[in-house]
Amino acid sequence: MTTFRTTQVGSWPRPKDLNAENLDAKIKEVIRIQVSTGIEEITNGEYTRGIYFGGVTGLPGFSQAASRYEFSAGDLFPTPLLTGKIEYDFDRPFATAEVKAIKSALDALGAKRRIKYTIPSNSMVSFFYPNPDLPFLPPETKAYYAKVQEGVKKEYPTYDSFIDHVTRINVNEGRAAFAAGADSVQSDGPTVNVSGAGGRGFIRQLVQLDNIVLDALRGSGTLEFHACFGNGWNTQSDTSTHYDGHLVELVELHTDILGPLEVFDGWRDYKELGKIKSVSSVIPKGLDISLGILSVKTRNVEPVGELAARYEAAVDAVGKEIIASNGCGWASGKDETIHGIEGARRKTANLVAAVNSVRRE
């Protein structure tokens, strides 16, 4: 069992004036804020990337906003698309400098916290390959994807050759993060969670893609796998899927911690915990579970008492102690502005206070 009880997904609300000149100072400030809440595992707020998967997809080889995915609320979410060879320098992983910067900021504060580094899962990045048969792809874009795929074959003759390159990048980033001092590497894979329409066979394929990276990183540090219901401008991409429908596939991920899983999002809430409880018998004893009992889908600051009740209900649903978190990132992309830093701070501080108020066995 892990020795920490609270974590956070990854991104924090981005300051409106964030730019290249003040980036280092803003990262130090968001680390200070996280430390002030008492949360036990922190990130750099993902301020160094425009979106949570932006480290990889921000590289040459991807065209930005090449397609758009429609969320349940009608928001059109711009997504990148592979259009050429990914230009990544294996000798200069992003993780090295980012993790060292977090360690330096913690040292300056005289604080000790677990450091988490996030990477986009293989399954996540696989959705940015120009596959005209991809589930959920709007019919009007299929011809365009087919055309782009023909061009991509000059650099990646097969889909598997693309996945192999992405795998090597993700493994390199994970290993660099651990080498620089990260305690955890979290793979972000909401695509696994919202792919129910593709059938359980499709979900198993995605899990297999992610296990390639998880297996390569095993033994280097704590591995986490985040699977939410999708978050763009804090709306949901899927309002019909529940964890009981594919938890049996999720527990096949070769991770130390499954989660944070988004269970309080204003749509599922306690109903989702009931569904998890109904299938909790499939959770292996040695697998730790992290649940998002703090919602990022609302700006309302949940009282400590309500969060404590959620935490206790979550422990009951899983059948053992859990790691508590927010359910998704505060600002998955740079243009998401529903949350302010102060609101996120207050919500996180209340989460920590709630978990600490519940007696540990």
Domain-located, residue 11? no
- Confirm whether pTM is higher than 0.85: yes
- What single DSSP character describes residue 139? G
Buried b (16+ CB within 10 A) or exposed e, 163-184: bebbbebbbbbbbbbbebebbb
For residue 29, the enclosing domain spans 23-357
Positions in the chain whose pLDDT score sits under 70: 1, 65-67, 135-136, 196-197, 360-361
Domain-located, residue 16? no
Domain-located, residue 121? yes
Domain-located, residue 2? no
* Residue for token pair 């749509």: 267
Which residues have CB under 8 Å from 55's CB, separation 6+? 48, 49, 94, 119, 120, 173
Domain-located, residue 154? yes
Largest CA distance in the chain: 59
Domain-located, residue 8? no
| pLDDT for res 65 | 61
Domain-located, residue 132? yes
Q: Please give the tally of structural domains in the chain.
A: 1
CATH number assigned to the domain comprising residue 52: 3.20.20.210
Domain-located, residue 56? yes
| pLDDT for res 69 | 72
| pLDDT for res 1 | 55
- What single DSSP character describes residue 127? T
